[in-house]
Structure 1
Amino acid sequence: MDYIVAGELPAELGNLNLVEFVVNTNGLSGSIPFSMFNISTLEIMDMAVNYFSVYLPSTIGFSLPNLEELHLGGNRLSGVIASSITNASKLTELDMGNNFLTGTIPNFGNLRLLFIIGGNNLTGESSRFFSSLTNYRYLKLFDVSSNQLSGVLPASVGNFSASLQIFSAFGCNIKGVVPAEIGNLSRLEYLLLDSNQLTGFIPNTIGKLRSLQRIDILINKLEGYLPLELCQLSNLGDMDLSDNMLNGSIPDCLGELKSLRNVHLGFNKLESTVPLKLWNLNDLLRLNLSHNSLSGNLPSEIGNLNIIFDIDFSWNQLSGNVPSSIGKIQSMVSLSFAHNRFQGSIPPSLGNIINMQSLNLSFNNFSGLIPKSLEELRHLEQLDVSHNRLEGEIPTGGRFANFTAQSFIKNYALCSETQQQFRSCGKVHKRSRSKNVVSDHTFDCKNTKIERIAQSEISLRLGWRRISYRELEEATNAFGESNILGSGSFGSVYRGILSDGLNVAVKVFNLQSEQVRAIKSFATEGQVLSTNRHRNLIRIIGCCSNTKFKALILEYMPNGSLEQWLYSHNYFLDMLKRLNIVIDVALALEYLHHGHTFPIVHCDLKPSNILLDEDMVAHVSDFGIAKLFDEGESTAQTKTLATIGYMAPEYGTEGIVSTSGDVYSYGMMLLEMYTRKKPTDEMFGEEMSLKSWVSHSVDENTITEVVDTNLHGREEENFSKRDQCVSSILALAIECLTDSHTERINMREVVVRLQKIKAMFLAR
């Protein structure tokens, strides 16, 4: 049995003549004793994945002459990597990834196997940096992802190590084209260049990478056709080229790559039909072609994808009937044909897909009845057949009792005896209808009813795991204080490691003090996060629920909260990181407000509810008091108060909840991010607020007096560009804080404005 070691390292370790020191993946914290960096006999130092926080000594390369492997990744190291480290002539493996290191990247010249510095805040000019890598003749793994490497990928990247297997440089602000010379890396297995600003075409030389198993170049600005040479990658298993500007057709020959397991080509400009050979990929697991301009019919061969579990063809121009052979895919968990031109009846054979958990057929031209066979889908948690031409009675068996009217609205002639929003199917039945004022669940004080509602809301969702209390107890060290990540009125959040080694955050709801409120919060958060997927929303992994204990198991965010980064002296957010975070949060709110038939309002947006993953990507969390609107609603009323200082005026005084309230909270968060002042700071009162203080400085063009002093002097060479950027953001924040909620801008406008501000800031 493995044990997790916690506490700090004793300074006396530095007195030992150690050759190897390995304490990786534990709960160790504090500083690494500087004396350990003077153990001249040390060959291997492995302290990765702990909680160490320390500056690396400037003499590190001189005092460890025999060091061969240095593994310090996944900690909280800060400061710079001293250039002296290049004097450790025997060093062959280096891992300092996922820390808080800053400064420029030294020119390592002797590494042979492993070089990982991704997930920091290191800087460098990419052309010069990558050109220096031609000395790394035996390197197998190279990772500089999520650093700020301005510039381009030079042609000299093709002279990199002939042994290289993994090349990871995602999220590095790299511009320019993917050089043709990258095809020289003949043993490359993973090519990860996503989330950059790459332009131009995918080079034809990509076909020379015959060992390539995974290619990720999503979220860039690539254009042109998908090269036929992709079909030469006989070992390719995962291909993600989504979120670019690729056009033309999907090469028919991709259907000959029997190794393909995951294909993501969504959010491009692809057109023509889906190639027939694609349906021959019997071992395909995921296929996402959403948000393109694909047309034509689906053939019966779609049934050949017999082990696939996720198909997303939404937002295209596909038409015709959906073939009944689709019912052969019993492994499928999620299917979306939304926003196309499909017609005819919904195939009853869909009822054969026994594992289906999410089915979206909305915004098409489907007609006829909703098949009764769908009642057999016992795991179905999400259903949307709205905006079609369906008629007849809405089924009531199976999971249909759990679906709201939103799943069926805007159809030709649907009727129901259970859904009050629809006309009766002809039976004489009198019912009273009460007008809903608040779009929320109704809870009474009987524990049995509370539990029933909570269980129906939190039943096993798409991709969720049921996790026992005993496993959570073991994962969190019996919910020990050393594992607490944070706490609030809802309860506490603990860091945990599940039995399969997965790091998670366990949000335990306090059922002792306010049981009704806690269960309601548990149910609401579960409902919001289980039915919404977005890069900038926190993801639920599983849950644990019984009458005495309720917890949500969330993805672990190793970089903590935005509040922690703003107010801790150990961390620093530069201009670009702050800009990326505010855009991430804006994109999440835009999705919640405008990415659904009806909006979702967070209701409690603030820095402590913004969490940062290992790549410093922001994720909005804590949906315990969120509001989900019904058809036709744009505002609601509530008695639940959010956090003072971030609430919109109409929320605090009248309990009015709307998407505009989130916009107000977002505006307040923008001010806080760039001033490092909370709206409840003691300097503010009746005579002056955070809003009026900043508004006056914007009007008087004196923003340097209110901007976070940590930003001063950090980027002096770009002070003019920095001030212009901050001024634009603060002006946008003031617009978000307009007193009248009907006059505030919406999050779509906010996102557009921020993207323009970022483009101006990055312009050379």
Structure 2
Amino acid sequence: MNPLQNLKVLSFPMNNLTSSIPATIFSISSLLNISLSNNNLSGSLPMDMCYANPKLKELNLSSNHLSGKIPTGLGQCIKLQVISLAYNDFTGSIPNGIGEIPSNLSHCRELRVLSSSFNQFTGGIPQAIGVYLGSNGISGPIPAEIFNISSLQVIDFTNNSLSGSLPMGICKHLPNLQGLYLAQNHLSGQLPTTLSLCGELLFLSLSFNKFRGSIPREIGNLSKLEHIDLRSNSLVGSIPTSFGNLKALKFLNLGINFLTGTVPEAIFNISELQNLALVQNHLSGSLPSSIGTWLPDLEGLYIGANEFSGTIPMSISNMSKLTVLSLSDNSFTGYNPLKGTLPNSLGNLPIALESFTAYACQFRGTIPTGIGNLTNLIWLDLGANDLTGSIPTTLGRLQKLQRLHIAGNRIRGSIPNDLCHLKNLGYLGLSSNKLSGSTQVVLEIFCATELFLDSNALAFNIPTSLWSLRDLLVLNLSSNFLTGNLPPEVGNMKSITTLDLSKNLVSVGSTVTLVVFIVLWIRRRDNMEIPTPIDSWLLGTHEKISHQQLLYATNDFGEDNLIGKGSQGMVYKGVLSNGLNVAIKVFNLEFQGALRSFDSECEVMQGIRHRNLVRIITCCSNLDFKALVLEYMPNGSLEKWLYSHNYFLDLIQRLNIMIDVASALEYLHHDCSSLVVHCDLKPKSMQQTKTLGTIGYMAPEHGSAGIVSTKSDVYSYGILLMEVFARKKPMDEMFTGDLTLKTWVESLSNSVIQVVDAIY
């Protein structure tokens, strides 16, 4: 590289580069941009990396395997505007003086972005650093000096353990700040009124902290603000009327606080507003009659668990983009349009509506047949009201419905055969009604994984076909008038976690059957803590979410949302408009076979129903963009829990994890509608699947001849089992020549204590 003395840009992102970065690269004095992100580079950075690079403006080394300390000489790159070191293995504390991340970065006067998210830094924050240090385990207060770096455009310390309060003069020296992200910390105190001095601010995210006091009315002076998220704090008082001045506002979430009073009418007149979330406060009053005219772009209205009353305005039907309407736990009454009842005009709500929740709203009367017109509904919740009559057959038109909850009413009659048409239904809650007749119809809803039919007046012999529903996770038929015997076939329900037939007339046919039932109950009891799949937002069809929605959910696929990468693409964390956290796998269409991989993953994953396997929620498929939207696993990968210093798994936890993995593998190999071979069992893939194997985990015949079979998975499982209990990677430096993890364990088979992780 030495002869390249005129080179200005060195860019090799998203390749498969390995080994360390040649030190000679940092000797090219003409370089302005070094971009080597998304590779497999390892090793450390030279301490004097900037001595010969005074002109360097951008350094992007994110998403590699670089380690060691951040060079103290980084501050010599005085022209640096962007530094991205995120998603590596850098270690050490973040001191206030010269050290791992040196305070002399303050010499970089043109610095706009510094990203070091997802490394293993600990301790406090250096006083001269202020951007993109999310998810690093940083503790202590935020030094006030950070808010004196006038060039900063973004400050992101999301998901750390920061404490203390914000300085009262927080924005006096931040004229260019556009994003302030301090969510998911332990910050407290009152919100500073000087936030209004950040005149360029677009994003204000302070959720999931311990802020108290009232919301400063001065925030309403931030005319460019597009996003406010103050949910899950201890804020009191009323919503400032000045918020009505925020004409550029698109997202407002003040949920889960202690706010009182009425919602300023001017907020309902912000025409750009797309999501309004005020859940779990003590807000009262009524909705303005013209809400549907004033908010034409509104996609989500979340006002549940408050004290709203009055009528639900007819103008809501004008909100053509509305997809979520959550009114639960309020006291809506009146005559027009819902009249304290649910009239047929409910079917005139926007056709785009995907979620209608009106739980515990004191509605009475019957369920209107017009609700069948809302053909895009995914979630319908009318539970805990005073509804009577029967279940309308028009519900059978709701082909996309995945969650139907009508429990806690006075519904009579039988369950209509039309519910058989709901092939995407995952949750059916009809508990605590007065339903009668047979539930044979329910047995034909093969996609359902949770069935709650308890506390009704159902009377029939339990059909033997019930025990063939292998995808069921929860079945509650208690407190009815069921008869018949409990057969041995109950043991066929391999995925079930809850089976309740109590308070019926069911008898146990034999001692063997009783033993089978007890064993089944014990086996499932210990798995009750495992979260069940998110059926309420399993969309079931591929082209259900738009590229624009994914951009919004991931902050334009921002680097701070990146949680993983592979040869086929990247995985981002996102938050959908309904508040659901998801993982979004974006395929790299330049990778050979990416399209085929996308299609096959869609086909395979949409049919998977198992509590230990990540479920596909939906996908986005355009000519030039392919992405899967999956359940988000907040605890991260098994690899993180095994090898990160601030995480720990005891012996029992490791055993339970491997039992769960075995259960999932058994399901893929034997209980799926079609055989599925995982091909890449390893700690890092415990939260996402890939199609190619990894060296060290592959069976010999897979690596040498490309032969793929269930035996390959079993071999990989064996290697994984050894790794989990020994806490040694198959590619550990101790394994050279003929010595492998497998042969090492075999050689110590008579002395297991030497194999088991010393941490025990």
Give the residue type in structure 2 aligned to 1:288. Answer: N
Residue 381 of structure 2 aligns with which residue? 407
Q: Please state if 1:458 is matched with 2:424.
A: no
Give the residue type in structure 1 aligned to 2:644. Answer: D
Q: Say which of 332, 356, 367 aligns to 1:383.
A: 356
Q: Distance in 2 between matches of 1:539 and 1:364?
A: 30
- Secondary structure at the aligned position of 2:620 is classed as strand
What aligned pairs does 1:634-645 form with structure 2 within 5 A after superposition? none
- 1:144 touches 1:168 (CA, 8 Å); kept in 2? yes
Q: Once the 2 structures are TM-superposed, how far is the Cα of residue 41 of structure 1 from its aligned partner?
A: 2.4
TM-score, normalising length from structure 2?
0.58
* Residues 413-437 of structure 1 deviation map (CA, whole Å, 9 limit, x = unaligned): 2544226968899999998642435
Task: Report the CA distance shift for 1:154/1:52 in structure 2 as closer, same or farther (over 3 A).
Answer: same
Residue 303 of structure 1 aligns with which residue? 268
Q: Please state if 1:286 is matched with 2:266.
A: no
Residue 192 of structure 1 aligns with which residue? 156
Task: Report the CA distance shift for 1:227/1:424 in structure 2 as closer, same or farther (over 3 A).
Answer: closer
- 1:125 touches 1:149 (CA, 8 Å); kept in 2? yes
Q: Distance in 1 between matches of 2:362 and 2:721?
A: 44
Residue 336 of structure 1 aligns with which residue? 302
Residue 396 of structure 1 aligns with which residue? 369
* Residues 596-623 of structure 1 deviation map (CA, whole Å, 9 limit, x = unaligned): xxxxxxxx9999699989xxxx96679x
Residue 277 of structure 1 aligns with which residue? 242
Q: Distance in 1 between matches of 2:598 and 2:48?
A: 46
Task: Report the CA distance shift for 1:220/1:265 in structure 2 as closer, same or farther (over 3 A).
Answer: same
Give the residue type in structure 1 aligned to 2:358. Answer: V
- 1:237 touches 1:260 (CA, 8 Å); kept in 2? yes
- 2:329 touches 2:360 (CA, 8 Å); kept in 1? yes
Q: Distance in 2 between matches of 1:257 and 1:168?
A: 23
- Secondary structure at the aligned position of 1:386 is classed as coil
Residue 354 of structure 1 aligns with which residue? 320
Q: Once the 2 structures are TM-superposed, how far is the Cα of residue 189 of structure 1 from its aligned partner?
A: 1.8
Q: Once the 2 structures are TM-superposed, how far is the Cα of residue 40 of structure 1 from its aligned partner?
A: 4.9
Task: Report the CA distance shift for 1:333/1:83 in structure 2 as closer, same or farther (over 3 A).
Answer: same
Residue 268 of structure 1 aligns with which residue? 233
Residue 103 of structure 2 aligns with which residue? 131
Task: Report the CA distance shift for 1:523/1:176 in structure 2 as closer, same or farther (over 3 A).
Answer: same
- 2:287 touches 2:312 (CA, 8 Å); kept in 1? yes
Q: Distance in 2 between matches of 1:268 and 1:670?
A: 41
Task: Report the CA distance shift for 1:538/1:358 in structure 2 as closer, same or farther (over 3 A).
Answer: same
Q: Distance in 2 between matches of 1:539 and 1:429?
A: 27
Q: Say which of 329, 332, 348 aligns to 1:366.
A: 332
Q: Distance in 1 between matches of 2:256 and 2:688?
A: 24
- Secondary structure at the aligned position of 2:164 is classed as coil
Q: Once the 2 structures are TM-superposed, how far is the Cα of residue 379 of structure 1 from its aligned partner?
A: 0.8
Q: Distance in 1 between matches of 2:206 and 2:61?
A: 28
Q: Once the 2 structures are TM-superposed, how far is the Cα of residue 60 of structure 1 from its aligned partner?
A: 3.0
Task: Report the CA distance shift for 1:442/1:110 in structure 2 as closer, same or farther (over 3 A).
Answer: closer
Q: Please state if 1:73 is matched with 2:37.
A: yes
Q: Distance in 1 between matches of 2:355 and 2:282?
A: 23
Q: Once the 2 structures are TM-superposed, how far is the Cα of residue 125 of structure 1 from its aligned partner?
A: 2.5
Q: Distance in 2 between matches of 1:137 and 1:304?
A: 42
Give the residue type in structure 2 aligned to 1:150. Answer: T
Q: Once the 2 structures are TM-superposed, how far is the Cα of residue 278 of structure 1 from its aligned partner?
A: 1.2
* Structure 1, unpaired ranges of 5+: 1-36, 161-165, 444-453, 468-481, 487-492, 512-517, 530-535, 590-603, 623-640, 647-666, 713-722, 728-764
- 1:296 touches 1:319 (CA, 8 Å); kept in 2? yes
Residue 645 of structure 2 aligns with which residue? 575
Q: Once the 2 structures are TM-superposed, how far is the Cα of residue 102 of structure 1 from its aligned partner?
A: 0.7
- Secondary structure at the aligned position of 1:254 is classed as helix
Residue 495 of structure 1 aligns with which residue? 587
Residue 627 of structure 1 aligns with which residue? none
Task: Report the CA distance shift for 1:352/1:82 in structure 2 as closer, same or farther (over 3 A).
Answer: same
* Residues 681-740 of structure 1 deviation map (CA, whole Å, 9 limit, x = unaligned): x999xxx9xxxx9xx98xxxx6x7323xxxx8xxxxxxxxxx3xxx5xxxxxxxxxxxxx
- 1:39 touches 1:63 (CA, 8 Å); kept in 2? no
Give the residue type in structure 2 aligned to 1:389. Answer: Q
Q: Once the 2 structures are TM-superposed, how far is the Cα of residue 388 of structure 1 from its aligned partner?
A: 2.3
Q: Distance in 2 between matches of 1:138 and 1:430?
A: 68
Residue 99 of structure 1 aligns with which residue? 64
Q: Distance in 1 between matches of 2:356 and 2:233?
A: 26
Task: Report the CA distance shift for 1:358/1:83 in structure 2 as closer, same or farther (over 3 A).
Answer: same
- 1:345 touches 1:369 (CA, 8 Å); kept in 2? no
Q: Once the 2 structures are TM-superposed, how far is the Cα of residue 340 of structure 1 from its aligned partner?
A: 2.4
Q: Once the 2 structures are TM-superposed, how far is the Cα of residue 508 of structure 1 from its aligned partner?
A: 3.8
- 2:316 touches 2:349 (CA, 8 Å); kept in 1? no
TM-score, normalising length from structure 1?
0.58
Give the residue type in structure 2 aligned to 1:134. Answer: S
Give the residue type in structure 1 aligned to 2:88. Answer: N
Residue 697 of structure 2 aligns with which residue? none
Q: Distance in 2 between matches of 1:645 and 1:342?
A: 57
Q: Say which of 15, 19, 44 aligns to 1:51.
A: 15
Between 246-255 and 403-412, the greater mean CA deviation after superposition: 403-412
Task: Report the CA distance shift for 1:184/1:71 in structure 2 as closer, same or farther (over 3 A).
Answer: same
Residue 247 of structure 1 aligns with which residue? 212
* Residues 105-127 of structure 1 deviation map (CA, whole Å, 9 limit, x = unaligned): 11123211233222211123312
Residue 522 of structure 1 aligns with which residue? 606
What aligned pairs does 1:30-45 form with structure 2 within 5 A after superposition? 37-41=1-5, 43-45=7-9
Q: Distance in 1 between matches of 2:282 and 2:6?
A: 63
Q: Please state if 1:143 is matched with 2:226.
A: no
Q: Once the 2 structures are TM-superposed, how far is the Cα of residue 252 of structure 1 from its aligned partner?
A: 1.4
Task: Report the CA distance shift for 1:347/1:103 in structure 2 as closer, same or farther (over 3 A).
Answer: same
Task: Report the CA distance shift for 1:57/1:119 in structure 2 as closer, same or farther (over 3 A).
Answer: closer
Q: Distance in 2 between matches of 1:551 and 1:281?
A: 35
Residue 542 of structure 1 aligns with which residue? 620
Between 57-66 and 69-78, the greater mean CA deviation after superposition: 57-66
How many pairs are equivalent?
528
